Chain A
Amino acid sequence: MSVVLGTLRPSSASKRARHLRDSRREPLLVGWILTAIAVTFLVVFLVLPLATVFHQALGRGFAAYIKALMELDALAAIRLTLVVSVIAVASNLAFGVIAAWAITKFEFPGKSALITLIDLPFSVSPVISGLVFVLLFGAQGFFGAWLQAHDIQILFALPGLVLATTLVTFPFVARELIPLMQEQGTQDEEVAISLGASGLQTFFRVTLPNVKWALLYGVLLCNARAMGEFGAVSVVSGHVRGETNTMPLYVEILYNEYKFMAAFAVASLLALLALVTLVAKIVLEQRATSE
């Protein structure tokens, strides 16, 4: 009798356990179907296009790929893209930090209006963002006559590209910082000041280290968007080959001229940037949560 009980009990318990476990799971079939849909979606919309870019770019061999990138116009486009995004990211880094600092650490009238304004570039089509500058600085624009009189070139030149890119990527840094800084409050700053730190010391020793991962993350996203921006830049660029073409614009021109291989070669650089950004993002998120 005792032997029977001894064997019966564990087995019925484990049966019950298995039953419990099963009841909390979806039926196998549903699980498979959902997974298949998700994977198919990912492959069709993300992996396949990405693979196509690299396949097309390397379609005529690695030497041809390098040669396409070494074209003078290609190099000019790469250089211009780097210059534009460095300036745009730097100014948005400064602006984003200042705006987030002001919004989260101080009370002032018009605060909520400023928060809404920061989001504006997200909700406006990039083409509009570009057009705004044409309306302001174009020959018929608001400042057009004055600019012409003083021989200052904004549209169809580097300043216009920088302005358009900066406007479009305006929210990235501030948007990353504001929620985090709001959550952290002002207590750390109050402690620092009471311990004798100046405003700048407080900012560089306390505020900035507290948000460094979010800041890097915002800069990363801002940079990715700045390099990839097409719409706004297209409006103000003027498409002067070797002078005002950024990488995305250059890709379009090559494509329209049926130089597919070269187009994809330049596009592959942008795709690579996306991949690097993705990896950096994962690393940053891990560092941020581990702290």
Chain B
Amino acid sequence: MRIGIRNITKRFGAFTALAGVNLEIVTGELVALLGPSGSGKTTLLRIIAGLDWPDEGQVFLDGQDASERSVRQRQVGFVFQHYALFRHMTVFENVAFGLRVNRRATRLGEEEIRRRVETLLDLVQLKWLANRYPSSLSGGQRQRIALARALAIEPRVLLLDEPFGALDAKVRKELRRWLRNLHEDIHVTSVFVTHDQEEALEVADRVVVMNEGRIEQIGTPKDIYDSPATRFVHEFIGETVMVPVSVENSTIVYKGIETDLGAQGLKNGPANLFARPYEIEVVAPNDAVITGKITRVHGLGPARRAEVVLGNNNIVEIDIPRLRELQEGQTVGLTPHRYRLFAAGG
């Protein structure tokens, strides 16, 4: 199902959870809503589901305005962070719930329900738990049952709210790979909320980065990581080296000295240079404008790091080659071979 989100605004009292959000999700996509807590990502998911209502704006499902349609009528599968399995029902009955309460003409016979539930339990590879109660299941198993339950009604869209948030790191990793594979098998349009960037970048086709009720950037994981559109995205995702500079006549000026680095179209004024630790090369002090003193070299194996103090008490971490001889206390030059520039204070 295609999902269109137009100008959605939602306030809780004085707090603005969503401020004019626009988003298009195409059929069969797996989209991550990524952001810190309070960024409005869960509110947006609940509005898509019909569990919350926007103050302004509309949700379109397959081109139709869904404002008049309740959560019952939207045919969405919603999976909560804490699973919310019905504790007084067996795993089988949990998965069968949506089929049993369905009052449409298509209500299935007992035999058909059994068959469907068993197929779903096969899909989540937990058929052997059919007669157990949720209290005897592990977190990962519960989440997979919650997913099977949501899939039972053949939802047109699957919405997952921090689906792996309550699990420990190892199970989390397994489960997200499993979810990715599952999505490739069944191809239902899916939106999941997460605050874990690694999870979003690994699983999703596209990532929507949110902050303070607004969308900062929409793009493929590669776009988001390699070409952050805003300072927030750069700092929120991956590691960041930040150097305060200024722009004069389309070139970057560092501490009053002009560099040969281009200003990427930024207007004159104070700015910040952003780069990843591996995008900066350590050179001789005379070969670069940006210089600093190494305070510490740490890390073994491929990930060796140097902490460099720039003149203004700004400590940055730079990746250094394995065999490069660097001493603590040594002054070095830093040359970014890739970087992004954002206006300061913006």
Contact = CB atoms under 8 A, between A and B. Distances in A.
B107 to A, nearest CB: 10
B154 to A, nearest CB: 11
Contacts of B150: 194-195
Contacts of A191: 78, 80, 84, 86, 149
Describe A's contact surface by its main secondary structure: helix
B76 A194 contact: yes
B101 A201 contact: yes
Nearest to A212: B88
A256 interface: no
Given A195-B153, A196-B101, A210-B87, A190 B72 contact: no
Between A187, A190, A196, the greatest number of chain B beta carbons within 10 A of the residue's beta carbon is seen for A196
B149 A194 contact: no
Contacts of B77: 194
A193 interface: yes
Contacts of B84: 187-188, 190-191
B51 A194 contact: yes
A194 B80 CA distance: 11
A196 B155 CA distance: 11
A197 B101 contact: yes
Contacts of A194: 49-51, 71-72, 76-78, 150
B24 to A, nearest CB: 23
Nearest to B152: A195
B283 to A, nearest CB: 56
Contact of A193 (B71, B82, B86, B88): B71
B37 interface: no
A201 to B, nearest CB: 5
B80 A193 contact: no
B102 interface: yes
A209 interface: yes
A212 B89 CA distance: 13
A189 to B, nearest CB: 9
A290 to B, nearest CB: 10
A193 B98 CA distance: 9
A191 B101 CA distance: 12
A188 B80 CA distance: 10
Contacts of B149: 191, 195
Contact of B97 (A190, A197, A291): A197
Given A190-B51, A190-B80, A191-B80, 16 more contacts: A187-B80, A188-B84, A191-B149, A192-B86, A193-B72, A194-B76, A195-B149, A195-B153, A196-B72, A196-B98, A197-B72, A201-B101, A205-B97, A205-B101, A210-B86, A291-B87
6 contacts: A187-B80, A190-B51, A190-B78, A197-B101, A205-B97, A206-B86
- Sorted nearest first, the 6 A-B pairs with minimum C-beta distance are A195-B98, A197-B101, A187-B84, A209-B88, A194-B78, A191-B84
